[in-house]
Structure formats: structure tokens, C-alpha cells
Amino acid sequence: MPSPYREGLPPQPPGPPEGEQHFTASQTVRDLVIGTADGLTVPFALAAGLSGAVAANPLIVTAGMAEIAAGCVAMGLGGYLAARTDAQHYVTERAREEQETRDYPEREKWEVSALLHRYGLRGETLARATEAIASDRRRWVDFMMRFELEIAEPAPGRAAQSAATIGGAYVVGGLIPLAPYMVLAETLPALAASCGLTGTALLGFGWLKARATGLPPLRGALQTLLIGGLAAATAFLVARWVGG
């Protein structure tokens, strides 16, 4: 009886009519989330904290802007180096894995077998599948990188894009809580306005973040607001305690 699999891959059978609904956030969305979350929260909490200890808006704006600059550079460059490190790590580990397939081919074939064995392949099928994968060194190393070491090949140009996204999101996020201190003269009204503005932004941001990852939006919105609120309350108490 001829198997439909005999030559290459058979045609794709129909799936769900609306396509498969899986949520895997892109790296750019993740970078935006990292930058915005910290940018909204930390400068807001710092400004709120200083409101409890130092009653002068220009000083709060100076500290806040210095924090935004420091956070933007530290997180942006940190993201840049992390992405660069990932890329170098991939190249190093791939070279090592390829050398292993030359020096210890039987061991590396056995590792392919062990992986497939875990998913139910046995006997002749296991042996043939292992030989098929190991028959082409590039595919063999591809397989080991992805399924043994679980290291994905980073996209080229990721590092610079990641740095710009994280750093930019941090600045945009950070200017929202600081704006009232720039516009208003008195500290307490500025603090109240900053709480309202940042609270709204945190709720909206948490909502969007939850939707992008396929989780309940309302819970996401409240969780993000809670983090910002707790961070600000802690900073307020610490600043009071240290500054008073």
C-alpha cells in the first residue's frame, strides 16, 4: 500500500477556519513592554517619593530627567549588549556543536536518538530518523542547536533595533509622570496630576500588554497599576524616612 508520505511532504490538511490562534509576542513587542513598564513606573515613583521629602518642583524635574536619561541609556545599551551577546553566543555554541559532530559523531548521533526517543520513536524508525538527520551536517547541527541547546539564531540587526526600542519607550514612558511637575508650580497638585496621568497610562498599558499576550485584559491593567502604585508608595516612604 503506497504511503502518502513516501515522496516529500504531503499537502497540508485543513486546520481551524480562522487559522491557529496562538500568541507569541514578537521581540519588538517585548522590548516595548520592557521599556514602557520601567519608564512609566520608576520616574513616577521617584518623583512621588521626592514629593514627600523635597518640596520644590524644579528639583524633582531635575532628578526625574536625570533618572530618565540614566535609565534610557542603561536599559537601551543593556538591551544592545544583551542582543549582541546572544548573537556571539549562538556563533560560539554552533561552532562547538559542529566540532563535536566531527570529533564524536557516534555520541552526537546518540544525542539525536535520545531526543527523538523521548517523543516515542523506537526501533527501526528511531535508527532511520537519526541517520536521516545526521546525513547532512548543517541540518544535524541545526537540529542540535534548536532541540538540544534550545538556542534560536538571532535575527541580524536585532541589537541596534532592540536598543532604540527599549530606550525610546523608556523616555516616552518617563515623560508622562514628569509632565505635571514641569507645568504646575506647586508640588502637591503636581503629585496628584502625576498620579492620575500615570495611573491612566499604567491601566491602558497593562490592558494592551495583556491583549498582546492573550491574557485577560482587565487583570493585566490592574496588575500593572498595582506595580506602579506599590513602587511609588515604597519610594515615597523611603524618601520620607531618609529625607526627614
Footprint on residues 27-66 left by its own copies (CB under 8 A)? 37-38, 41-42, 44-46, 49-50, 53-54, 58-59, 61-63, 65-66
Question: In Å, how far from its chain's centre is CA 136?
Answer: 34
Of 144, 163, 128, nearest to 31 by C-alpha is 163
Q: Based on the shown chain and the rule CB under 8 A, indicate whether residue 102 belongs to the binding site for its own copies.
A: no
Binds its own copies by CB under 8 A, chosen from 55, 77, 155, 188: 77
Taking CA atoms, 139 is separated from 76, 99, 131, 133, 144, in Å, by 35, 14, 11, 6, 9
Give the Cβ contact number of residue 104 at 10 Å.
12
Contact with its own copies (CB under 8 A) among 10, 157, 196, 204: 10
- Write the CA distances from 200 to 81, 116, 225, integer angstroms: 33, 50, 8
Q: Which of 208, 170, 166 is nearest to 44 (CA)?
A: 170
Using the contact rule CB under 8 A, the part of the chain among 154-162, 187-195, 234-242 near its own copies is 234-242
Residue 95 found at the interface with its own copies (CB under 8 A): no
- Contact between 188 and its own copies (CB under 8 A)? no
Which of the residues 203 through 222 are near its own copies (CB under 8 A)?
Answer: 213-215
Answer for which of 81, 155, 160, 183 binds its own copies (CB under 8 A) is 81
